[in-house]
Amino acid sequence: APTVLSMFLIISPPVYYPLQLIPYPYRLAALVAPTTYPAHLIRTVLLGVEDDSFIYWVGFIVYIAVIILLAVKKGRWREV
What integer pLDDT is reported at residue 78 of this predicted model? Answer: 67
What integer pLDDT is reported at residue 79 of this predicted model? Answer: 65
- pLDDT, one tens digit for every residue, the chain (80 residues): 678 877 777 777 778 888 888 888 888 888 888 888 888 888 888 888 777 788 888 989 999 999 999 988 888 776 66
User: How many angstroms separate the CA atoms of 14 and 43, rounded?
Assistant: 11
Q: How far from 66 is each of 5, 6, 11, 58, 69, CA to CA, in Å?
A: 22, 22, 23, 12, 5
What integer pLDDT is reported at residue 1 of this predicted model? Answer: 63
What integer pLDDT is reported at residue 66 of this predicted model? Answer: 92
